[in-house]
Amino acid sequence: MAKLYFNYSTMNAGKSTLLLQAAYNYQERGMNTLLMIASFDDRAGTGRIASRIGLGADADVFSPQDDVFNHIETRSNAGKIDAVLVDEAQFLTEAQAWQLANVADQLRIPVMCYGLRTDFQGKLFPGSAALLALADNLKEVKTICWCGRKATMVARLDADGNIVEEGNQVEIGGNDKYVSLCRLHWSRRELG
C-alpha cells in the first residue's frame, strides 16, 4: 500500500540531499520518480532541486493554485510513476496536502514530502500543518544548533546578521538569511 511520508526539520538539515538520494535509489533500480518543488523557490533555478553538497535534479513546479493530484495523475497516465518526491513541502496549501494523500490512496503512488515544520516566528506553515495531520509516516531530520543541542527552530536574519522577528512568513533564502537553533537559543535570540 502506498503511503504519504513527511520528512521535516529546520533549515540545513539535509532534506534536499535525502530527497535526491531517494530519487537516485529508485532510478538506479529502473523505477521512475516525479520530483516537485514550489515554483517560487528559484534558489537553484526554477524547477530545480539542489542540495548544499552539490547534488541537483530537475523537477516539476507547483504553485498555490495548482491541483497537484491532477498534475500527478496526468503525468502517471503518460508513463508509470513509482514515487513522487516533493521538496519544500511547507509551501503546499492544505488542499494540496490532501491531494497528495489522495495520490497515495487512490493512485497508489508513494509520496515523500520534505520540508520545514515551522517558520522563523515558530509558527507552522499551512502545508506542514496539513502534512503533520495527514501523513502515514512522520520523520524528523535532525540538525544541530551552534551549542550542539538538537535544532528545532529557525531564525531569519537581516542583511547585517541580526535576527528578524516580523515579516512575511515566506522569504526564500539559504544560509545567508536563516540559521537553525535549539528552542532555548531561538527564544533568547542568541546566535552563538
Given the residues 28, 73, 88, 166, the one annotated as active site: 88
pTM over 0.75: yes
Give long-range contacts, CB 8 A cutoff, 24+ apart: 72-79: 72/34, 72/103, 72/107, 72/109, 73/103, 73/107, 75/34, 76/34, 76/107, 76/109, 79/32
Q: Collect the ranges in the chain with pLDDT lower than 50.
A: none
Query: CA–CA separation, 16 vs 81, rounded Å?
Result: 20
CB 47 within 8 A of CB 61: yes
Write down the pLDDT at residue 7.
Answer: 97
- DSSP letter (8 states) at residue 151: P
Active site residue 171: no
Give residue 8's pLDDT.
96
pLDDT at 62: 95
What pLDDT, on a 0 to 100 scale, did the predictor assign at position 175? 60
Residue 29 is given by DSSP the state: T
**Which pLDDT score is estimated for 104?**
98
Q: What's the pLDDT tens digit per position in 45-68? A: 677 888 878 888 889 999 999 999
Whole-number mean pLDDT of the chain? 91
The alpha carbon torsion through 5, 130, 91, 157 (nearest 10 deg) reads: -100
Strands (E) across 107-152 are located at: 111-116, 137-140
Q: What is the pLDDT of residue 27?
A: 95
What pLDDT is attached to residue 173?
A: 57
Second CATH level (architecture) for the domain 4-142? 3-Layer(aba) Sandwich (3.40)
Domain locations along the chain: 4-142
